[in-house]
Structure 1
Amino acid sequence: MRPRMWLLLSAQLAALHGNSVLQQTPAYIMVQTNQMVMLSCKAISSSTTRIYWLRQLHAPSSNSHHEILAFWDSSKGTIHSEGVEQKKITVFRDGSLFFLNLTRVKLEDSGTYFCMVIGSPTLIFGTGTQLSVVDILPTTAQTTKKSTPKKTVCRLPRPETRKGPLCSPITLSLLVAGILVLLVSLGVAIHLYCRQRRARLRFMKQFYK
């Protein structure tokens, strides 16, 4: 790559970021050291013939430094920047998708990666992918189930059960009816007894006259 081209790209890093012409995925990725990472950049315009991949080591600011890693050319294929380990970085294209493949990543590979095309008159950047390389991936803490307090049920004391037979309304009515029958029978018996006695007394009076 010509030195003038690197100077031109470095001088225009304040250009438009996150343009809809270039869409990057994923937005954030965390991987373990010595693993492989693949970043993608989709070019909306079919006329895109050259795309650059850059890395920003620190958070975006006015003093941020961008490092150009490589670019893909429709006629030459992958072109690496000076000082870049070629076996580690591969750039290729599949239709409207441009890929950056990183192998055996290290902690110093962490940063924000941008795809970029040279527009007229500005540079057009992708939305960016933040790469975080760690020695040990964090484990997701298992969510502990909240124990719901048991509701205390206030139990009312049981009513004391009465001993003996239950007096239902039917039983009471039958009992009253039986008593009435007995009273009527007793009244009839007394009445008959009285009539018989009076008849006997009359007979005796007539006999002794």
Structure 2
Amino acid sequence: MSVIGASGCGKSTLFKVIAGLLPQSQGEVALQGCGHGGNRLGQIAYMPQQDLLLPWRTVLDNCLLPLEIKGRTKKNKVAPVWDMLERFGLGGYELAYPHELSGGMRQRAAFLRTLMTGGELMLLDEPFGALDAMTKRDMHRWLLELWGELRRTVMFITHDLEEAILLSDRVLLMPPGSHGPLRELNVELPRPRRLDMNYGHGFVALRAELERRLYESRTI
């Protein structure tokens, strides 16, 4: 599910509330049908806009950080993480430091670290927003190939309408200033998805409809 809306409408704040980093002023946040109050912290995987890799730790050690925080021994976890690094296109860079990686590789490492938290719900706050167009397309291709293996529920903030349609099954539109109801668009495109779907009639029609609804939400 992607969440889109004008800058300042509360998308990142919503994610921080869901993750338990901020208290909600009203309403209820339920995880798997159960309200958790303020006890959601640590149960939900959250990746902010910046990769926030620790510069003094290697790629491997950055990815092991969630396991260390939970008190799991590194000795028993290195081998599986090493295999995941290979699948994430980071093979050979396990002992590299963040400053030695490209922007796309840093985002992959940050994504894997988020995945290692073990949360069944992943919140990704504009993870590709700072990447150039070509690197972003490479990340889309990589993520689409990996999507079926993740078996996680993913909520994704983006300002890129094509990105929202390509990656999502549902798109939520937040109104400016969080005034008014959320609007929803179902993305009825077959999976697995491919990058060349961007040029198909169905994709173009969905983008036009999403843009129309986004414009209407700003004028209400």
Normalised-by-shorter TM-score class: under 0.3
Q: Which has the higher helix share?
A: 2
- Normalised by the length of structure 1, the TM-score is 0.22
Q: Which has the higher strand share?
A: 1
- Normalised by the length of structure 2, the TM-score is 0.21
Q: Which has the larger radius of gyration?
A: 1
Flag the structure with more relative contact order, 1 or 2, with Cα contacts below 8 A and sequence separation at least 6. 2
